Structures are given as C-alpha cells and as structure tokens.
Structure 1
C-alpha cells in the first residue's frame, strides 16, 4: 500500500516558512499526494474578551484571520511548486481537537508539523500539543525539528533510523514492525540519505547475570544474545523485502530509551522512526514508555507510528488542560 496519499501539513500562524516546509515539498514532489494545509487560531471570544466593543473585537478577529490566510497562501504557493496545490483551511479552538478532527474528516494518512516547544539546552522540547498529538493522532505524525538548531552545518548525510522490535510476537507488534519499515523507507526517500534499522537488546541491564557467571562465560553469553538478535533483525528485514539488510542494521545493548537516544545523537540521525505501544484506559490511548522517554532525549526529528488497531480506537474528545492566559490554545 502506498503511504502518504493524503497528507496534512500543519502550520502555526506566526511562521510562513515552517521547518517542515522542505519535508512537505519533497514528499509532495515524490508522491504527488492530496495535500491539506491547516492552521488553528485561538478561541476569539476568549482571546479578545477584554474588549467590550463588539465591533472592535470583530475587526481584530478579521485582521488575524486575514493575516493567517495570507501566511498559509504563501506556504501553499511554495508547496504548489512541487506539483500539487494544497487545500487551505483555517479553524479556531483547541489545536489538538481541531487537528485530530480534520485528519479524521479528511482521511489523512500522515500529519507533518514543526516541533512546537521551547529550546532547552540547544534542544527543542516537545510541548503539550505535540505530546497529545503523539498520543491521540489517528495517523502517523512527522515532527520536524529545526535543522539549524539540531544539526551540524558540516553534516553531509541525512540518516534515517528506524527502531523496531525484532523479537515481536503478537500480530499487532508484527504489523507495527512492517509499518515502521515502510515509513522508514518513505523518510529515507524524502531525505535522500542512508537508512538504518535499530533493535535494542536489553541484556542484563540490572546486572543479575553478571554476578552469576564468570567473566568469560558472561561475555560469551552476551555475544550469543546479540548475535541472535542481529540474525532475527536481518531475517525480519529480508522478509520485508529490504535489500542488503546486513549493511543496514545496528543492535544496541542496554535499556531501550537511553540506548536509542544515544545512538541517534552520536550518529547525528536526522529523523527517528519509532512506534508507540497503546493501551486503553480512562485517558484513552497513551504512548508507550519507550517512545515517551525517547522524544525528549533526541535532537532529531521524529516520525511516530501507532498500530492500526490502536489508532482505530482514538476518539476526538481529547481532554486538554489549558492555562487561563491561553484558553483553547493547548
């Protein structure tokens, strides 16, 4: 199945040249998908509640909408250079709810947007909007970080890393692996760089086995476990039609979250493709622990994929927390 046939590009109103624009343009050039371009404005009634004059409030609202539309049209014209004219839309209210509703209503299969958090220690940290979208978005989401912030100017290769579970046992896990591999290929095609598949071998992270074996036996067991994991990863990729998989794999040792983050940061990975582990609860679908812990440890962009069975359970009525000074803008 062809990916990214109906993509939604989300652009904040303050920027008519978002970091994700280059990704959207190249993906559009390659795939010629249907493209939707969306911006969500705050709730005007709350934003301008301190104005008693209704005429003035209406005038301010009209000005904001015109400026936003102008910025979106500029972005749309740039995307049109790739061969597809996007459908431009403006909405107002809760960003998360409106984006999720738009994706559902238009059957989008990929959301592309900037990471919208603050820069902390030279790394752009995901804000509450991005975190909630990761948990509730009904399609894969490509979060693009500013390359001028996160990448060295001397970097010549844009590496795509895909974190998969070579020991997957359940149908949902195997389906997710397949989807991650396909999305990894998509990202690598857009970026034009190498593709590497990661598997983390959580070998004796608690140090229990090390205290039970002599050094040589422990080292042999460690090597055997890692070799078996590598063979399983290579076999998985061969079955998925990946050419020369031996040249595209890396087996990491340790706890999943820090191991994946350390690899991506040390190798200057451009985009990490990874999955979420969904579970039902009062809060709906929540992102798995590994993905939750990785997102703030890496400097790279992220493409997050959830199992189809999990995405099908996502509902639009996402509970959001908003501050008094930014009502409806969570």
Structure 2
C-alpha cells in the first residue's frame, strides 16, 4: 500500500484554481500524509536593481516574498486548506527550488498542475514540468482540474519485452504502484505495452526476410511476457494491451479509448546532450496524454541537482 508521509503541492500564482492542492489533499486524506504548499516567486525587475545597495535589493526581495506569502495564505484559507504548511521561495528557476526542497525534506510525492489547452483538447507541459520529470527524485504527479471517480481506469505503462534488468525492475515498481493507486481510489489497473513494427530496411535489404513471420514472433514474445507479468500481479488478461507501434502513439490511444484517469509511467530522467539527441520515450508519451500522469523514477536514481 502507498505510504506517503509528506506531499508537496506546487502552487502557481497565475492560476484561478489550484488542482494540485486539491489532488494533494485527496491523496493525503487517504494516506494520512501531511501537505505542504510551495510557491516559487521571482520578480524580473530585480535583475534591473544592480545599482541598489545589497540591503535595498534584499529588502525588495523580502517584500515581494512576503506579499506572495500573504496571497498564498489567503488563497489556502479561501479554499478551506488553512492548516496547510506554507513555503515561499525566491528563485528564477522554479524547478531547482522544488527539487532542492524535495531532497532536503524527504518529500514522498510532488503534485503539480498542468495547463489544458481547450481548443486543442490537449495538455501543455511547461518547462518546469519537464525539468521536474527529469530531475526530481520523488514521483511527480501532473494533474488536470477534474475529479478522480471511483472505478476509474488506471494505466501502468510497462515494457515487458525488454530483457534489460533495469526495465524489469521498473516494470515491477510501476505495476505495484498502479495496484496501490487502484486500491486507494477503487480503480482498475490496465497494463499497456507496445512493440516495434518490422524494420523496413531489413525487409528491403534482405530478400529472404519474411516480415510477417518476424512480426508474429515479436508479437508472440511480448504477449507471453505480458501474460507472465500480469499473472504475477493478478491483473485480468482482459485489461492487458499489447499493441504494435511506438509507445507515444499506443499508450495515449489506449488511454483515450478506455477513458483513463491516470497513466503511471517510468522515466529514467535522461538529461543533457543525450536527451537532445536521443530523446526520452516517457516524455514523448507524456506529451501526447490528456489525463493525469504519475512519473516514477527507477530505484537508486540520483538527481543531478543533489548537493
């Protein structure tokens, strides 16, 4: 069962509603965790005050921080969350402040709202979202402004076809957490796994290559591995999906088809040049989803922002 002791809700001053706070309290009520509301502030005019004395600059920063702390307290009072702990930090890189607070205070879960673009029926992820997905050691829950109904559908995005030990351990971790959330929310767990299509270059360059035989063998391998994995965690085979295609297409399509409330996915947190050149499969998947997303790191992950 999920054991959250400390949940951090990331507050955004430019939002009329605070779905991250609502979702954090929903989970806190079910787990007994405490909730901290964190607001990261920065005034760009501060960069133009280099002519002022250090004391004057500090006074300006303190005044802005105090003003936002007052706003946050009033907002929490108005929403009925008056007993929430408040943290207001000054930083022009919000994700750094959040990750450092997570590390320094042993936060079990970070909850942050995403921005919905109604015209496109999609979710827009901010740079802060992406940095948290890559660098935050704790699970990150990105939420929309909606309820989690009972008997809702939860997807555990797994990669059962891989022989890599790290992937196998992450599959287990994701599935355990999915089952825990299903128990917590009276929901249903669905396992989703994609497998690659036949490489066209092989089919063209090797005349004796039979793409149908190859494709059937790959599909059969993934189906067998999915059966083994689903039986291990007592998940009904009717809720197991093994589909050909890229994960960033297969997972969002199934999430849409079954009207999933939450997708749980693993992310290795690739950063730097490798992220730019190779990309991160989890991020491509997340970018296509319009439901809530819980991003999980492998055990032993160390944030590049660790001090």
Q: Same fold (TM over 0.5)?
A: yes
Taking the TM superposition and a 5 Å limit, the aligned residue runs for 1:178-197 are 178-197=172-191
Q: TM-score if structure 2 supplies the norm length?
A: 0.81
Taking the TM superposition and a 5 Å limit, the aligned residue runs for 1:183-222 are 183-204=177-198, 206=200, 208-209=202-203, 219=212, 222=215
Match of 1:161 in 2: 155
Q: TM-score if structure 1 supplies the norm length?
A: 0.76
Match of 2:227 in 1: 234
Change (3 A) 1:25 1:91: same
Inter-partner Cα distance in structure 2 for 1:285 and 1:2: 34
Match of 1:322 in 2: none
1:130 counterpart = 2:129: yes
Inter-partner Cα distance in structure 2 for 1:61 and 1:48: 17
Match of 2:281 in 1: 290
Query: CA deviation digits over 1:32-73, x for unaligned, max 9?
Result: 1233221112247627859x8x69957665433311222244
Match of 1:277 in 2: 268
Match of 1:305 in 2: 296
Match of 1:37 in 2: 37
Q: CA RMSD in A?
A: 3.7
Inter-partner Cα distance in structure 2 for 1:60 and 1:254: 50
1:88 counterpart = 2:86: yes
Inter-partner Cα distance in structure 1 for 2:184 and 2:11: 19
Inter-partner Cα distance in structure 1 for 2:47 and 2:14: 16
SS at match of 2:288: coil
1:100 counterpart = 2:99: yes
Quote how far apart the aligned CAs of 1:18 are.
Answer: 1.4
SS at match of 1:36: strand
Change (3 A) 1:63 1:279: closer
Match of 1:257 in 2: 248
1:314 counterpart = 2:300: no
| Structure 1 or 2: more helix by fraction | 2
Quote how far apart the aligned CAs of 1:205 are.
Answer: 5.2
SS at match of 1:314: coil
Change (3 A) 1:280 1:201: same
Inter-partner Cα distance in structure 2 for 1:33 and 1:193: 20
SS at match of 2:19: coil
SS at match of 1:296: helix
Inter-partner Cα distance in structure 2 for 1:48 and 1:188: 51
Structure 1: unaligned runs, 5 residues or longer: 318-330
